[in-house]
Amino acid sequence: MKKLIPIIAAFAIGGVAVGVVINTKSSQESASLQEKLKEKFTDEAREKKKVHEKKVSTQARAFSQRLMNLKNALEAKGVDAQTVNNIVGDVHSGSLGAPKRIIAYLTELETNPPADRSKNADAHRIQVREVIRQFEELTLMGAIALPAISEFLAQGIDREYKENTDEIVSGNWSSGRYYHDPIFPPSLRIGLLNTVRHIGKRNNEALPNAERVLLQVLGTTGRSIEVMYITRALEDMAPGVHKDSYLMAAQDLLMAPIAEETRGTPALDRQHRYRLFEILIRNKDETFVEEAKNQLLVERKRKQKIDGKEVEVMVTEIDSSVLSYLTGVLGARSMPILSNIYDSPDLDDRQRGRIRGAAARYLGVNEDANAIVNGRFDESFQWLTTTGDNQKKDRAKGMDNIRYYLGRLGEGRNVPTETLQQRQQFLVNLRGKTNDKEVLAMMDKVDKRLKDMSDPEKAKKLDIRFSVSNRKR
């Protein structure tokens, strides 16, 4: 069963970095500048800094001393070095020692960001460095750290980390971006997963166990961001080996009901369906197509003005992530699926326009695509014949559509000969539907473009983009 990961406590690091660049200043100027900087810190800020530093370092030093005493006692009794390290780890100055103790420290690490983020920036940096240092400690321990990491990850809990410095940019994980090797992770779990990756990459003997830890999390996590990260980590450690496992995990999360997310939804718990579908697209995975067809249309709440009043209504929309998946893995073969819903009375013209946009990619390649775009041309030709008060408005609307789809006919450079022939036939059929001189002139441009694309030498010099408009783009 997939687990939702609770956050132990909000771990926010406040403060804005304050820095001064001193180049070739005299010692007197430097001293004066430093004195001015000191004056900016109030007594209260200094006191908070001292308290914070003491809070961060005291526990680490106490742990380190106790572990060092234990290590010395074991060694005095003749216990071999490997056994000693298995018990207490490789103790460094200021280190917490054993993997479990480091993880416990990272789990319980607390910070109280100042209300005024412009103050106490040094305390913020101390906290950031402490987080980074402890993850590096775990990584240096190597395979010995894996059991403790696995045990913690199995608990399904987490602590969120945030930083606000100019030197480290942790990235916008909330938007679905995820980073291969985050220096400062967005959470304890992501930091541990990255530690596992590093351990496996640095030690071939530890690689199988490192992969096993990641696969165990992959099989239980309910977080999209973790599936996305582990997928990338596994491909980095063992390319292609665990493809079935991460595809299954992605599909599993895509089967979950779509959640209504708000700004208050925790960044690490967003569904990121689009990113999950990207995993399937990259791997050309068509096994989810039948389920995706059922997810293509969704009901959503939208605000509309009715009789001058803004009211909330339910509307039917096309799920953009599903549409991207279907066209991404099926290509032109997705058009029968899209054609079946194109005339649905539940869709407004804006939603049908998304299907027309997909169909424009496959003009001259797929009959369903041709039929959908042909229908749009017929509507546009009809608008060109409008008379009366709406003549100018309807003509402009029709011409915009015609320019767009004729332009799509001429797009590309290395287009197969058969496709070019089908596009030319499509253009011939269009010519018989209008006598409008402006439209016929645009069709002549498309015809010339298709002939140039058919000539291998001329095709090399063509821009992949094409427009029938004389206006500057």
pLDDT of residue 118: 55
Alpha-carbon dihedral sign for residues 467, 469, 470, 473:
negative
Euclidean distance between CA atoms 257 and 202, whole angstroms? 39
Q: Look at residues 364, 3, 308, 256 and name the one whose alpha carbon lies nearest to residue 154.
A: 3
- Return the SS3 of 324: helix
Instruction: Supply the pLDDT for residue 148.
Output: 94
Task: For the chain, list residues with pLDDT below 50.
Answer: 9-27, 29-30, 33-34, 36-38, 40-42, 44-45, 48-49, 52-53, 55-56, 59, 92-94, 111-115, 471-473
* pLDDT value of position 125: 74
Task: Tell me the angle at which helices 99-108 and 188-202 cross, rounded to the nearest 10 degrees.
Answer: 150
Q: What is the largest CA-CA distance in the chain?
A: 104
The torsion of the CA quartet 111, 116, 118, 124, rounded to 10 degrees, works out to: 0
CA dist., res. 296 & res. 80, Å (int): 63
3-state helix, strand and coil shares in percent for the chain, rounded to the nearest 5: 60, 5, 35
Supply the pTM of this predicted model: 0.77
- Angle 43-76/99-108 helices, nearest 10 degrees? 160
Measured CA to CA, the distance from residue 37 to residue 183 in angstroms comes to 29
What contacts 161, CB < 8 A, 6 or more positions away? 11, 13, 131, 170, 184, 185, 186, 187, 188, 191
| Domain range summary for the chain, segments of one domain joined by + | 1-21+29-284, 286-359, 363-473
- Per-residue pLDDT tens digits for 209-260: 999 999 999 999 999 999 999 999 999 999 999 999 999 999 999 999 998 8
Q: Please report, to the nearest 10 degrees, the dihedral formed by the alpha carbons of residues 450, 451, 453, 455 taken in order.
A: 170
Tokens representing residue 78 in the block: 């003749």
DSSP per-residue letters across 63-127: HHHHHHHHHHHHHHTT--HHHHHHHH----TT---SHHHHHHHHHH------SSTTS-HHHHHHH
Backbone angles phi, psi at 7, to 5 degrees: -85, 130
pLDDT at 172: 67
Tokens (6 digits) for 213: 């830890």
Q: Single out the residue of 202, 87, 183 nearest to residue 133, CA to CA.
A: 183
State residue 45's pLDDT score. Answer: 47
pLDDT of res. 68? 64
CA angle 445, 450, 454 (to 5 degrees): 145
Strand partners, 219: none
Angle of CA points 434, 437, 440, to nearest 5°: 65
Per the listing, tokens 């695509």 go with 369
CA distance 276 to 249: 9
- Return left, alpha or beta for 15; rule: phi > 0 is left, psi -120 to 50 is alpha, else beta: left
- Own/partner contacts of 454-457, CB < 8 Å, gap of 24 or more, are 454/417, 454/420
Dist CA 277 CA 427 (whole Å): 35
Q: What's residue 86's pLDDT?
A: 56
Other residues' Cβ atoms within 10 Å of the Cβ of residue 23: 4
CB 140 within 8 A of CB 66: no
Q: Which H/E stretch holds residue 316?
A: strand 309-318
Whether the CB-CB separation of 412 and 454 falls below 8 Å is answered with no
pLDDT 10s digits, 45-71: 455 445 544 544 554 555 556 556 666
Q: Which of 278, 349, 270, 277 is nearest to 317 (CA)?
A: 349
Type of residue at 288: F
Backbone angles phi, psi at 318, to 5 degrees: -90, 125
| H or E element in which residue 90 lies | none
Containing 76, the helix (H) or strand (E) segment is helix 43-76
**Residues whose CB is less than 8 angstroms from the CB of residue 154 and which lie 6 or more positions away in sequence, other chains included:** 216, 220
Task: Write the single-letter amino acid at 321.
Answer: S
Paired strand residues for 331? none
